[in-house]
Amino acid sequence: MSKFWSSVVGELKPYTPGEQPKVSGLIKLNTNEHCLPPSENAMAILGDVSPDSLRRYPDPESTVLRSAIARSEGLSVSQVFVGNGSDEVLAHIFQGLLSSSELLITPDITYSFYPVWAALYGLRLQTEALQTDFSIDVNRLSAQEGSILLANPNAPTGRALDLVDIKRLVDSNPDRLVVIDEAYYGFGAESAASLIATAENLMVTRSLSKSHALAGLRVGYALGSAALIEGLIRVKDSFNSYPLDAIAQRVGAAAIEDTQWLRHSSQVVKDNRGKLSESLTNLGFEVCPSLANFIFVKHPDHEGRVLFEHLRENNILVRRWDKKAIASYLRITVGTEAECAALVRCLADYCAA
């Protein structure tokens, strides 16, 4: 600890990202990257980068990218905000919008960055327990006071709320902000974006990291009313006017516009998810229903930590947490058919031993 740290920094417990080892030969199923390469249309942009586009500052308004997103969602550009990954977008929402509320409500089992942002920006955080099957009790959540932040599908469980339940939650109190984090958009869950036209208290965030296989590019965005988006732009322009470089803006726009790639790649993930879930169920695993590009599983006869270490010893990385309620579970990214098959063989050998 440095004497120059502020009291806030001294008390922070930073988010721990998934392991990114630099070792060859690993089957990496721990950080929910897409199992397919990005759109060829998006990749073609990289070969068309001019020296002048790097010499000059990028468009601070990310007009091309925001326009592509707006067209894909049937919104105006004024209803779209972009940032350096959805984590940065969410951080701006915490600072610029959620901090206006006395209370923020999230599920007790969800994306573990939320408590970090709450502490960083001085928000009082209240967690609501998930039901025993990891689903969200919308009635109980609607009855609470304060702003609401939900990952849908939820992480690390993969469960998702139906659109009708999200609408019921949004409509339950039009004077509070509801933020739906759709980082795992594109793998089967209903998006809340269609509600934006009539819900001024709704903001939807997304990332190109999972849905478009661009985790290395760092592009995220938010959809909401023009007034909410203006609030985020004010925060952005008071923090960093150029969060997205010129290449990211163009590649991101090309990826958004390649709707054929999105349909195909999403179906591949859904197909692989179904096969992986079935294979693990046949091995005796309990598989939580998932609409994300990962599954959440446990085996009644084997500890999660032991299975995690066995996989790791065999060069297969998955993710787990020590939190009591989920300590027995593994979160497994849906990989390629070959990667999923290798994981199933490894677990089958262990369970049969």
End-to-end CA distance of the chain: 48
Q: What is the pLDDT of residue 312?
A: 95
Domain with CATH 3.90.1150.10 in the chain: 7-37+262-352
CA-CA distance, 107 to 129, in Å (whole number)?
6
Look up the CATH superfamily of 7-37+262-352: Aspartate Aminotransferase, domain 1 (3.90.1150.10)
> Residues of the chain whose pLDDT is less than 50?
none
For residue 157, which amino acid is it?
A: T
Instruction: Report the candidate in 112, 93, 99 with the shortest Cα–Cα distance to residue 155.
Output: 112
The torsion defined by the Cα of 344, 34, 44 and 50, in degrees rounded to 10, comes to -130
Q: Taking a C-beta distance cutoff of 8 angstroms, is the pair 330, 304 a contact? A: yes
Instruction: Please give the full DSSP string across 266-332, using - where no structure is assigned.
Output: HHHHHHHHHHHHHHHHHTT-EE----SSEEEEEBTTB-HHHHHHHHHHTTEE-B----GGGTT-EEE
CA-CA distance, 210 to 251, in Å (whole number)?
15
Residue with structure tokens 């990310």? 62
**Residue 44: alpha-carbon gap to chain centroid:** 26
Q: Which CATH architecture has domain 40-259?
A: 3-Layer(aba) Sandwich (3.40)
Q: Which two tokens stand for residue 276?
A: 């992986």
CA-CA distance, 340 to 346, in Å (whole number)?
10
Please list, in sequence order, all residues whose beta carbon lies within 8 angstroms of the beta carbon of residue 33, skipping any fewer than 6 positions away: 209, 210, 213, 215, 333
Polymer length in residues for the chain:
353
Instruction: Report the candidate in 83, 91, 53 with the shortest Cα–Cα distance to residue 242.
Output: 83
Model confidence pTM above 0.85: yes
Domain with CATH 3.40.640.10 in the chain: 40-259
CA-CA distance, 303 to 326, in Å (whole number)?
11
- Specify the 3-state DSSP secondary structure of 133: coil
